[in-house]
Amino acid sequence: MSLSIGSYRRVVLMPVGPFKDFAECVAANQDKDDPEAYCASIEKQASSISAMAWIIADLTYDSDETAREAERLAREGKLAGVSVDLADMVAEIEILATDEDGFPIDWVETITQAEIIGATQVGMPAFADAHIDEVDGRLVAFLAPEGLDTSDRRIITSGALTWREEVPLFFTDENVSGHEGAVHVGNLTNFRRALTASFEDPGLPTLTKPIIEDGKLVGHGAGWGTCHTAFRNACVTAPHSDYSDQVPIYQHPAGDHHAPLNLNREEARSWYAQHCEQVGLGSVGEDDLGIWVVGGTTLDDGEVFLSGDWRSVDGELELVSFLVVENPGFPTAMVANESQTALLAAGIVTSTDPLVSRIIHLEAQVSELTIRDRAAQMLADLENV
């Protein structure tokens, strides 16, 4: 499989679970005994989600003349390739073909362990598509792919790479062969894994139930104009929202359990991170049929049901996450103060909010009384026969 970063309209960074980075996770979880250890466990879980991961790092150039020239060339895309220097590498080589004398002419090198100790800005990187790009106003180096065959004869397995807290960046003129004459021009920090799922509309011809194949999930998370089955006297449909960020996909160990409806966006994110297992990460957008999702997952191949969770942010509903469920009933909504404050797409809703719980309890009682009335009427009819 070959992946071209250039064919992707937007690259979004993989969060630490539901958080955009490690620092945000630590800040949001100060109530934990060891916030850093807690976030490290979430980061490890998130990093294993997809076979479409790149190791990336923030890039800061020095202030000297050579560094400024290297930065200019990178920003203009004239010399923006980057090659990593690996140490302590463990690899397996598979010979695919030999010539008549038994000399290898085709092979695949699979790297199972290595540490990134440096990188060099070059015209022809060792890994195809390894490059320097501007993301959200800052320079980011896409250093090496994990689980992706993006170069001839070399593959890095998922989770194989480690790195130091800070790594030097060198620069070599495009007229110089290899790394000869390279000079230090900056440093790479804030290493993390990035999921490079496409933000472009997958072009699904019909409303499509999400399906997983080889770790990739594609389908609609909800359809327009579809009323939720749990509400008898109102048609509640999927909201339009801002889908600029990737959305984590969770699975609750006890089944169809969303975060309580009275939580705000940040609280809901923390709830999912604490109570659920993150099993995927998806890019989300809208088409004429509904809300589509494309992403990576650790779930087995096959069809799945996704249930969205929207939370109110500045008066608008924002998608916080998808939950893998067995009983979809998109969407279920609760109304408070004459405005939607939270919206869940699952047919089963749990809440710690007293008012919400009371509404659900009363609706269940009404349903039970209706069934009893019908049964009594049927018995009376039978007695009169």
Please, are residues 256 and 347 in contact by the beta-carbon 8 Å criterion? yes
Position 270 scores a pLDDT of 85
**4 located within any domain:** no
| 157 and 124, same domain (yes or no) | yes
Number of domain units in the chain: 2
| 265 and 313, same domain (yes or no) | yes
Position 336 scores a pLDDT of 29
Q: What are 54-105's pLDDT values in tens digits? A: 888 999 999 999 999 999 999 998 999 999 999 999 998 888 888 898 888 8
**350 located within any domain:** yes
| 144 and 229, same domain (yes or no) | no
Position 72 scores a pLDDT of 94
Position 233 scores a pLDDT of 67
Position 384 scores a pLDDT of 61
**41 located within any domain:** no
**77 located within any domain:** yes
Q: State how far the Cα of 270 lies from the Cα of 114, in Å rounded to an integer.
A: 33
**129 located within any domain:** yes
Q: State how far the Cα of 348 lies from the Cα of 345, in Å rounded to an integer.
A: 9
Q: State how far the Cα of 260 lies from the Cα of 321, in Å rounded to an integer.
A: 13
| 175 and 249, same domain (yes or no) | no
State which of 164, 195, 226 marks the end of a domain. Answer: 195
In 3-state terms the chain splits into helix, strand, coil percentages (rounded to 5) of 20, 40, 40
Handedness of CA 357, 361, 364, 370 (dihedral sign): negative
| 335 and 222, same domain (yes or no) | yes
**238 located within any domain:** yes
**11 located within any domain:** no
Position 141 scores a pLDDT of 93
| 240 and 351, same domain (yes or no) | yes
| 251 and 283, same domain (yes or no) | yes
Q: Is 261 exposed, middle or buried (0-12, 13-18, 19+ CB in 10 A)?
A: buried
Q: What are 314-369's pLDDT values in tens digits? A: 888 888 889 998 876 554 332 223 344 555 655 444 444 444 444 434 443 444 44
203 — alpha (psi -120 to 50), left (phi > 0) or beta? left
On whether the pTM is more than 0.85, the answer is: no
CA 339 and chain centroid, separation: 29
Position 319 scores a pLDDT of 87
Range of the domain at 298: 211-365
| 188 and 215, same domain (yes or no) | no
- Across the chain, which has 385 residues, the per-10-residue mean pLDDT values are 28 51 81 82 54 80 95 92 92 88 86 93 85 85 77 76 93 60 91 64 84 83 76 73 79 83 86 85 86 83 87 85 78 35 52 42 42 54 58
Q: Are strands 316-325 and 290-297 parallel, antiparallel or unpaired?
A: unpaired
Position 149 scores a pLDDT of 59
**316 located within any domain:** yes
Question: CA angle at residue 254 from 246 to 207, to 5 degrees?
Answer: 45
| 220 and 184, same domain (yes or no) | no
| Residues 6+ away with beta carbon under 8 Å from 92 | 109, 110, 112
A 10 A CB-CB count for 325 gives: 23
| 175 and 231, same domain (yes or no) | no
Position 174 scores a pLDDT of 53
